[in-house]
Amino acid sequence: MGGNVFDEQPTNRIFQNVDALDPDRTPSKDEFVERDDEMQQIVSILRFIEMGGASNFLVTGPSGVGKTMAVKIILRDLENYLDGNVQSVYLTDLENELQTLRTLTSQLSLNYRGTDLNEYYDRLAAKLIREDLKLVLVLDELEKLFLAQGGKSHGNSFLKKLLEARKRVVNADADGTLLVIGISNNARLGEYMNTKVKSRFGHETVHFSKYNALELRKILEQRSEKAFRPGALDDGVLAKIAAVVAQNGGDAREAIQVLRKAGELALDDGAATVTNGTHVDRARQLIEADKIVDTVRSLSMHSHVVVYAVLSLLEEGKTPVTTGDVYSEYRDVHAQMSVEGKDPISQRRVRDLIAELDMLGVIQATVLSNGKYGRTRRIKVNLEESTIEELQTFVEEEYGI
């Protein structure tokens, strides 16, 4: 290949600012549409921090409905409004109590990396009191601390000690305070909190419902005006994406990803416009495949092995694939794994995992009655070959199969 590798790229007649279609980009207030009521609820709670304190609260709702963006936009304005008298810290990917405390420590320069958990809370309280610091701590995906892998929950322990530190700060003769915002996809997160934690955390919850098709279309219109060249979108592109994504859960992030992918496909084709048929339909298929892979990656080891067993049976031409077939293959695959201390699970548990995978859309499992022999499931998948290969490679590399 001679010359510069970018010389032969197709002429860009599609995009003018692709950054506007980055789903992780925090938009301005003007760009963040269709969430005025929820924003006002959060502002109504946070306004009291200027008067010396405010209630801790939860923000709940499905993935991709604007929870995190709303909180970040409001806290950005709060910091500007109070002119440096408040600081916000945003934490996500919460694995356990120690890891969360170490991340918090690094952001606040508490100068401690040890294993004495109480030392972290003592240093946090001391800093807020000493510096009269008003701290807003945002804990995104808070449910992960309550549903940690291995069955150990860190959520109640962490929040109990954190709120005890908050009590020390609030009762000190100082202007410092600590306010905790928990963000979660699980609307029932409060049920995982024990009585003492729930009482101290407070009972304020701001819930974000999923976007409907009209709301998604307005979001896409807002983004597309900046992202695409005039005339680059065929009529109906935004309406079609909004309608389909609204039916599949109302995830604005997914809608933006589909729109961007459709634009990329049109660019690759050398087209002048993004078409409502070819480009949008192909984009939806590709995004859906990515979602399946991400979903499987987030599941447990045994779920990974069950998926691999199903794909292996189908690859071998086994049809129909039943629950019993999957369990036998699961045992064979598990025996090949290079993971110590992980015993195989029962056939009943495998059956439960098959039902879970069906619910998540990874496989399709139809329940069949065998009369006096009970019921089983006939299992199939409706995945692209590239997605199947990616899932198989992931499991093989992850567990040394």
Give the residue ranges of the annotated binding site for ATP: 65-69, 211, 223
**Cβ neighbours of 228 (radius 10 Å):** 24
**Cβ neighbours of 316 (radius 10 Å):** 10
CB of 23 within 8 A of CB of 253?
yes
Give me 65's structure tokens: 């409905």
CB of 54 within 8 A of CB of 48?
yes
The CB-based long-range contact list for 42-49 (8 Å cut-off, 24+ gap) reads 42/70, 42/71, 42/74, 42/206, 43/74, 45/204, 45/206, 46/74, 46/75, 46/78, 46/136, 46/179, 49/78, 49/82, 49/86, 49/134, 49/136, 49/177, 49/179
CB of 169 within 8 A of CB of 125?
yes
Nearest residue to 260 via CA among 303, 229, 285, 227: 227
The CB-based long-range contact list for 362-368 (8 Å cut-off, 24+ gap) reads 362/292, 362/295, 362/296, 362/307, 363/307, 363/310, 368/322
Question: Alpha-carbon distance 167 to 177, whole Å?
Answer: 9
CB of 207 within 8 A of CB of 182?
no
Annotated binding residues, written as ranges, equal 65-69, 211, 223
Question: Alpha-carbon distance 60 to 185, whole Å?
Answer: 6
DSSP 228: B
Peptide bond into 320 cis (omega under 30): yes
Question: Alpha-carbon distance 71 to 91, whole Å?
Answer: 12
Angle between helices 36-46 and 67-81 (to 10 degrees): 40
Question: Alpha-carbon distance 385 to 160, whole Å?
Answer: 48
Question: Alpha-carbon distance 10 to 13, whole Å?
Answer: 9
Alpha-carbon distance values, 82 to 53, 87, 107 (Å): 13, 10, 20
